[in-house]
Every structure is written in C-alpha cells, then in structure tokens.
Amino acid sequence: MKIAIVTGASFGLGRSFVRRLDRLGGLDEIWGVARRRNRMEELTAELSTPLRPMELDLTRPESVEVLRKRLEETGADVRVLVNAAGFGKFGTYADMTLQETGDMIALNCRAAVALTAAVLPHMSRGGRVLEICSSAAFQPLPGFNVYAATKAFLLHYSRALRWEVAPRGIRVTAVCPGWIKTEFMEVARDTKNGRTVRHYPFALRPETVARRALRDSRVLAVTTCGLPALVQRAASKFLPHCFIMACWEGLRRL
C-alpha cells in the first residue's frame, strides 16, 4: 500500500498539501495527522484518494509511537512525508511564556525529527521527505527569535539528513517559503505582544507553496517557493547578519 503522510493536515499549508497530493494521484491512501479530527473528516468529502485521519498531538512523544505502530501493522510504503505541523509566536524574550517557547521547540524541532525517524524505515527508493522550514531559518530575527531558531535547526537537520538517506534513493527537501496566507498569523499574534510583527509582505497562497514544494522536492535540497524568500536566502549568504537584523527591525515595525 502506497501512502503519503501529512502532519498539520487539518488546516493551512498541511491541508493544501493533502489536496495537492490527491490531485497528483498514485497513492492508495493519504494519512493526515493533526489534533482536530473533525476538520480532516470534512476534507475527505472533496478527495478522490482515501484520507485516514489520525488525531494526534505531536508535542506528546507517545503520539509518534502510535504512528510508528500503525506503520508496522499495515506494512505501508510511505512515498511522501510532509512535516507541515508547526507554529510560531510573535514577541521578544520578555513577551514569551515558557510554555510558548517550549511548545515551539517541541513541535518544530523534536516532533519533526522523531516523526521523520519513525517514518524513514518504511520508505523505499524514490520516497521524498519535505520538512517545512521557513525563510526565517536563514538569519536570526529579533521579535521572532525562538521560531526562527527552530526553523534554522530544521533546515540544518534536513540538509544533513538528505546526505544520510541518499544511498537509499530517498530525497529530503527543506521547504523555506516566506509569509503564507494561513491561520498562522492569528496564532502567532495571540501573545503578550502580538503586534511585534505588523505586516506580511509578499505573502503566498498555501496552494502555491504546496504545488511548488512538491515539484521542487524531486530535485532540490532547499526550495523557497518564491522570489522574495530566494532573495532573502541569497542575502543571508553575503550580508552580515547584523545588517539583515537591522533591516528586519525596521520593516517589522512599519
């Protein structure tokens, strides 16, 4: 049985990946992983590929074990893994609670690594892993500090993992877009200082990111899915981080 696994499948970018994978076809099932089962069940009505909703909270280590056991029981061949679960919070160190920072690290870093490790033994040649990072991974971002740091971790993890699994014929791609028009902003603003970042220039539609990411994952180690994030990536290689952070500080307050 050929399947794809998409985390964060109940809304936003994860939901768009489910739809895109369904349109591309060639799968027996898509497994959606998220906390909100009802939203995944609503999605099944518009898909031609069967969607198996898995109501799991990936910040809890036992959730990954549930998925691992399900893979062992079914003997599924995972053709695509999309780690789209993740979230961010706006605010400086003084604005963030320990719970908020801990949850960001747990979901964006620990859960992504644990779930990838659980899935890789069930991937064969030609399989693809898409780790949803962010253009925030390319440099430190004051006022968005912890989120950017977690995505930098995931970017470096993805690039090294690509080399480790290359002998098995598996490709790993770090997906690093800029702003995306999803519920992400509402969640990010729900903090003590949610106006730390006020505008989201050049925001992409989630459908655009999903389409480009799946296309690029056949070849590229890193994809930005758009020109603004590509420029940001290039600038981070040639300009001092202190200069980029100063520009960010001005832009985020406009």
Instruction: Give the CATH number, domain containing residue 94.
Output: 3.40.50.720
In the prediction, which pLDDT does 7 show? 95
- Does residue 181 register a pLDDT over 80? no
In the prediction, which pLDDT does 229 show? 87
What residues does 82 pair with on adjacent strands?
6, 130
In the prediction, which pLDDT does 35 show? 82
Residue with tokens 């949850």: 103
- The pLDDT tens digits for 195-209 are 566 666 677 899 999
Residue type, 198: R
- Does residue 186 register a pLDDT over 80? no
- Does residue 18 register a pLDDT over 60? yes
- DSSP conformation letters of 39-51: HHHHHHTT-SS-E
In the prediction, which pLDDT does 189 show? 58
* Residue-range definition of the domain harbouring residue 170: 2-251
- Does residue 185 register a pLDDT over 80? no
Residue with tokens 């497994």: 31
147 assigned to active site: yes
Mean pLDDT in residue range 68-90: 93
Confidence of residue 244 (pLDDT cuts 50, 70, 90): confident
Rounded CA separation 96/103 (Å): 11
- Does residue 113 register a pLDDT over 90? yes
In the prediction, which pLDDT does 200 show? 63
Mean pLDDT in residue range 141-168: 95
Rounded CA separation 244/162 (Å): 28
- Does residue 184 register a pLDDT over 70? no
Mean pLDDT in residue range 83-110: 89
Average pLDDT for the chain: 89
Mean pLDDT in residue range 220-228: 92
In the prediction, which pLDDT does 197 show? 65
Mean pLDDT in residue range 110-117: 96
Rounded CA separation 51/85 (Å): 17
H or E stretch covering 242: helix 241-251
Number of domains in the chain: 1
Q: What is the DSSP letter of 11?
A: S
In the prediction, which pLDDT does 228 show? 85
Q: pLDDT > 70: what percent of the chain?
A: 91
Choice among 93, 147, 157, 200 that is catalytic: 147
In the prediction, which pLDDT does 1 show? 93
In the prediction, which pLDDT does 39 show? 83
